Structure 1
């Protein structure tokens, strides 16, 4: 079914914190110099031979006194991002224009603050097994915690919810916000996502045989699995004003699909992935040959890259430049869609396509123009893919306004 065509939305402000940097300038420098933020796992007491993308300084973030009940690694990472690149000030200006009830919050996450629960289980009462009295599930582990925390931090009173659809979560948050704006319920939205390192994902993905003992190598002939990262990515979405700066970025197309092929394995031919990309293109009113660059989901597992590669080749052929940035950032799970939307916006604004990091030889079976080095080139339209467990897929088209 053809999706309802809605007006493009303006990325009025955006920022992110990941293992390659905090804020636009640090992230741009890392992408330009092809610097990876991955390191051998030294998180908590994890005993796994794998690599992670940890954000520096999260443990040192001081939670504001009025939101201290929300203290957990996930919300500390989110608070860090709120203070980057003048994002809080941009939201305050939006509130001044629209009011506290007309600015929504739509975030994606996969595990939220589950690390707090993991730590709480270590402190159970030895006799009764009761969790410690200072453990606060609603403010920390609850999936809604991030949105509730953001509302409290920013003094908002509008609609808010969290999307938890595995690795497509924070891409789908854009779709949720746009529907609310199209319905006339809000005038602006904070969208994106946050996911932080925890034991559940590290041991869980390891038990599935999906983690690599080396830094991940998306689309490589010798790829062997993911490197789990963490990130917080935030975008302030508003209706596009009549006149825009030359470097303004818009969300012009969104496509969603659910192929429900398997709980943890992608459709072998990428059927749902292709459907999401096709819908995003139709929504943007674009042909495949009008996309200048594709930011691939590219997790570096053998099955995922093969599935996405077939879908991309089938729709775009072998001529559209593409790459995965997860070799630099790791797979940030529920935050990946938001983080890679920010990376795509930086690519559009600065006129370059980031080459895939860590990959030395592209899998010859995947017939794509996969970039192994950065390419400087003016860009008009970028497609960003986010595909999750259970076949939940989302593709975003981001475009320069001029």
Structure 2
């Protein structure tokens, strides 16, 4: 089967979520099965539980970039400081040149919390927002990419993707297109999203918020727990990376347009995205060792994904959702879970769903509820979003001599 995707290596990665700050904390949380979801604060109403990153509150941006100060960019800055990520980008800049590195990031709400705060700061009867509120540098969707581009001293192509919960995953796809087209040699990709009232109230109005920590795939699951996270990756051509480096081997996307907030009940768009990802990687379904489900914890989404996964892979491929650890981190989830998939490959770990005593008896896929140790060469990571946006990534290990 001819591949239509140029494999890209994850030359550097960083992850910050409710699981912890940095890759070591993320790994430990997965291995110890200790999730990061906590009871919500009063400001999080109507949510009962959230996946918060407390450290984001105290992060300071460089003084010369102070105009970009908002929680979303602070969380991005926190991720930049972990796991030698900024140093990895600096080395790539020396090798390729600042103008040859793209910045492609996903977010669904960007710095909307800053706008919410600006509205609350208005005096009684005042209709205009405070004069010190900088929409372009904080709330605007491009704020995130502008900030990281300036912070890292890059001058290549830059864009922000906002396709709901597939945003972070789509950044990997767009990077492959730009690198294959010769428009750049490397790309900083990923996703960053932070807690805000609009998101919590929105999911509350849809009656989708869980009463306790979210339990994807459980027979008694009752909804999502909203979280916040930053997942960043530096992508380079496979031949530019060392043997053993995890690669993005393929990607597929679709838009089924079934409903604004509900998935197609049979998962037709999900099936299309998964098949496209396999085809682009030149792989058969049986060559995937583990599937990281989108697995939000809602009745409809999890049931749809089970049908779609079984349709493509049958009932024998281990699968699970890691949102029980992190909550649903929206536009960051696809990037964060791609990084988690890379860690699973490196560690030979299939992380079983947290808090699930009984899998939905109607499910036919092999939903894992306890951690399994097993060699993993290829992992598929799913992301599905509002409006019928679907994206699947295939990750695998770089072999010696490849």
Q: Same fold (TM over 0.5)?
A: yes
2 CA distance for matches of 1:10 and 1:237? 5
Choose which of 345, 357, 360 in structure 2 pairs with 1:360: 357
Aligned to 1:260: 257
The 5 Å alignment of 1:337-352 reads 337-352=334-349
CA distance in structure 2 between the partners assigned to 1:49 and 1:345 by the alignment: 31
1:284 aligns with: 281
Kindly indicate whether residue 80 of structure 2 is the aligned counterpart of residue 82 of structure 1. yes
Query: Structure 2 matches for 1:364-383, cutoff 5 A?
Result: 364-383=361-380
Residue among 90, 98, 101 paired with 1:100:
98
Unaligned 5+ residue runs, structure 1?
none
Q: Does 1:304 align with 2:301?
A: yes
Q: TM-score, normalised by structure 2?
A: 0.97
Alignment of 1:48-67 (within 5 A): 48-67=46-65
One of 298, 319, 324 as aligned partner of 1:322: 319
1:185-204 alignment to 2 at 5 Å?
Answer: 185-204=183-202
Q: In the TM superposition, what is the alpha-carbon distance from 1:56 to its structure 2 partner?
A: 2.3
Give the structure 2 partner of residue 215 of structure 1. Answer: 213
User: Residue 57 of structure 1: SS of its match in structure 2?
Assistant: helix
1:241 is paired with a residue whose SS is: helix
Q: Is the 8 A contact 1:7 1:252 kept in 2?
A: yes
Give the drift of 1:123. 1.4
Q: CA deviation at 1:257?
A: 0.2
Tell me what 1:239 maps to.
237
Aligned residues: 399
Task: Please provide the CA RMSD for this pair.
Answer: 1.3
Displacement of 1:358 after TM fit? 1.3
Output the CA distance in 2 between the equivalents of 1:243 and 1:260: 38
Residue 242 of structure 1, CA deviation = 6.4
Report the alpha carbon displacement of residue 199 of structure 1 after superposing the two structures with TM.
0.2
| Cα distance in structure 2, aligned partners of 1:49 and 1:251 | 35
How far residue 148 of structure 1 moved from its aligned partner, in angstroms, is 0.2
Q: Which residue of 2 aligns with 1:22?
A: 21
Aligned to 1:271: 268
Give the CA deviation at 1:3: 10
Partner of 1:73: 71
Q: Contact between 2:11 and 2:241, CA under 8 Å: does it hold in 1?
A: no
Q: Distance in 2 between matches of 1:386 and 1:108?
A: 12
Q: Distance in 1 between matches of 2:227 and 2:34?
A: 15
Mind listing any 5+ residue stretches in structure 2 that lack a counterpart? Answer: none
Partner of 2:4: 5
Q: Structure 1 residue 63: deviation in Å?
A: 1.3
Describe how 1:153-192 pairs up with structure 2 within 5 A: 153-192=151-190
Q: What is the alpha-carbon distance in structure 2 between the residues aligned to residue 150 and residue 388 of structure 1?
A: 25
Tell me by how many angstroms 1:87 deviates.
Answer: 0.1
